[in-house]
Amino acid sequence: MRREGARGYELLQSLCDDVGPRFPCTAGDVAAIAWAKEALSRAGLSNVRSEAAPATLWERGHESCTVYLPRAQPLSLTSLGGSVATPDAGLSADIVAFDSLDALDAAPVAEVEGRIVYLHHVMPKLRDGTGYNAGSVARTAGPSRAARKGAVGFLVRSIGTETVRSPHTGALFYEPGVAQIPAAALAIPDGDQLRRQLARGHRVRAELKLGCRPLPVGTSANVLAELPGTSEEIVLLGAHLDSWELGTGALDDGAGCVIAIEAARLLGALGLKPKRTIRVGLFANEELGIGGGLAYAATRNDEAKLHAAAIEADQGDGRPWSLRVPLGQRESELSKRLHSALEGLEIGLDEGQSRGGVDISPLKQLGVPFVDLRQDATRYFDFHHTANDVIDNVSREDLVHATVAFAVTVWILANADERYSAP
């Protein structure tokens, strides 16, 4: 497979420049669905179609925060997806800081009640991106954990890895029966300064104004297409089409979309018919509820057993460096064949088991086995969920490398005599 034949970067330029941000049920989302259908058709794939998927809707609105140190300083922040608004006049309260959710949980109510909680969670920059696991919990669970103690607002240090004044958004999830409080992420330098002031014993008061609001559930769509095989079995290659609206979703997950489309196009260009059908799935509403992945799984009860494997691209342009397979099947002939084919791309066989991505995760309950290509996430969380998630921060060379790796993996999965079993 010739790398110079890949043209994903130009395809990604089209998605970012012509369509732009793709928040569910916005004009950008509608345009993205049309763009995806055309791109899949141009790639030579068959049975291009869209399937309705519910979408959690939300509007960002105005957002600002001024802190008094005691001097007044505006902070760079952005609302967390799904947050409720402050009162129209804003919210004025003292800030109390904690370095972890455990510390927040251990604090007496009197320390938190009536205050804005600032959670100073520092995410490490790691090749495997696993620092995001704890970081996302801090963001998603933090507001309700603070509200349990009587907090009136919640701020979190951006769940990211680049020290620039570009805050990272992302979803929160309110606990049923717990008060819903407004929540936002601070740019990393702003959060660090705030923590220093509080650590020195200074009283810090904030005036927070968020105009965001949840909206009724709407309908978006997954976009699917296939490179037909000679059997009914399916290998699913997924990514998510939606994005946050701060940037243009180049890395999250425009890159994954073009990796999937281009991998399928390159395989089709071989002129060979695979044994199993290769299905590309571009999923809706991953960022705020996994609506597309859940809708796909909900309509696959009869077809689930035909899915020989599912794999997902959702870590930007990162070069894959590690292959993971289902539990207990690392020594199988299929794993050895995959490892042998990927070694030339500097991809090793991981000791850990495959977990699947967010969009394909609902298929686990249907017994679909996952294969993971772990992408290098060293740079990914510098831009993820920020206004800097733009094509200027995508590496053409890395995008091509990743596309080839996914194409090789999917081709072997589609043509192997054997298949993985679900763990």
**pLDDT tens profile 175-217:** 999 999 999 999 999 999 999 999 999 999 999 999 999 999 9
Triad 392, 55, 238: Cα angle to 5°: 55
| Per-residue pLDDT reduced to its tens digit, 217-270 | 999 999 999 999 999 999 999 999 999 999 999 999 999 999 999 999 999 999
pLDDT 10s digits, 53-78:
999 999 999 999 999 988 999 999 99
Neighbours of 333 (CB within 10 A): 11
- Chain centroid, CA 379 distance in Å: 14
pLDDT value of position 3: 52
Secondary structure in 3-state letters for the chain:
CCHHHCCHHHHHHHHHHHHCCCCCCCHHHHHHHHHHHHHHHHCCCEEEEEEEEEEEEEECCCEEEEEECCCEEECCEEECECCCCCCCCCEEEEEEEECCHHHHHHCCHHHHCCCEEEECCCCCCCCCCCHHHHHHHHHHHHHHHHHHCCCCEEEEECCCCCCCCCCCCCECCCCCCCCCCCEEEECHHHHHHHHHHHHCCCCCEEEEEECCEEEEEEEEEEEEEEECCCCCCEEEEEEECCCCCCCCCHHHHHHHHHHHHHHHHHHHCCCCCCCCEEEEEEECCCCCCCHHHHHHHHCCCCCHHHEEEEEECCCCCCCEEEEEECCCCCCCHHHHHHHHHHHHHCCEEEEEECCCCCCCHHHHHHCCCECEEEECCCCHHHHCCCCCCCHHHCCHHHHHHHHHHHHHHHHHHHHCCCCCCCC
18, 35 Cβ separation under 8 angstroms: yes
Query: Which residues are catalytically annotated?
Result: 286
pLDDT for the residue 143? 98
Q: What percent of the chain shows pLDDT beyond 90?
A: 96
Digit-coded pLDDT (tens) for 76-117:
999 999 999 999 999 999 999 999 999 999 999 999 999 999
Q: Where are the domains of the chain?
A: 3-54+217-415, 62-215
* Cα separation, 389 vs 372, whole angstroms: 24
In sequence order, the 6+-apart residues with CB closer than 8 A to the CB of 176 are none
C-beta separation of 135 from 119 below 8 A: no
Q: Return the pLDDT at 251.
A: 98
Amino acid of residue 226: E
What tokens were used for 346? Answer: 């500097």
Q: Has residue 4 got a pLDDT over 50?
A: no
Percent of the chain with pLDDT over 70: 99
- Report how far residue 175's alpha carbon sits from residue 148's, in angstroms, rounded to the nearest whole number: 10
| Token pair of 2 as six digits | 């010739």
The answer to whether the peptide bond before residue 108 is cis (omega within 30 degrees of 0) is: no
pLDDT for 269-316, tens place per residue?
999 999 999 999 999 999 999 999 999 999 998 899 999 999 999 999
In sequence order, the β-bridge partners of residue 74 are 66
Using CA atoms, how far apart are residues 252 and 158, in angstroms rounded to an integer? 16
Cβ atoms < 10 Å from Cβ of 13: 15
pLDDT at residue 6, as a whole number? 64
Instruction: Give, in degrees to the nearest 5, the angle at Cα 347 between 345 and 350.
Output: 170
For residue range 131-172, what is the model confidence (pLDDT) as tens digits?
999 999 999 999 999 999 999 999 999 999 999 999 999 999
Number of other CB atoms surrounding residue 74 within 10 Å: 11
Answer whether residue 121 shows pLDDT above 50.
yes
CATH topology of domain 3-54+217-415: Aminopeptidase (3.40.630)
In this predicted model, what pLDDT tens digit does every residue of 360-418 receive, in sequence order?
999 999 999 999 999 999 999 999 999 999 999 999 999 999 999 999 999 999 999 99
The torsion region of residue 404 among left (phi > 0), alpha (psi -120 to 50) and beta comes to alpha
Rounded to the nearest 10 degrees, the angle between the axes of helix 396-415 and helix 333-342 is 150
Question: Comparing 266 with 4, which gets the higher pLDDT?
Answer: 266
Query: How would CATH label the architecture of 62-215?
Result: 3-Layer(bba) Sandwich (3.50)
Return the pLDDT at 162.
Answer: 95
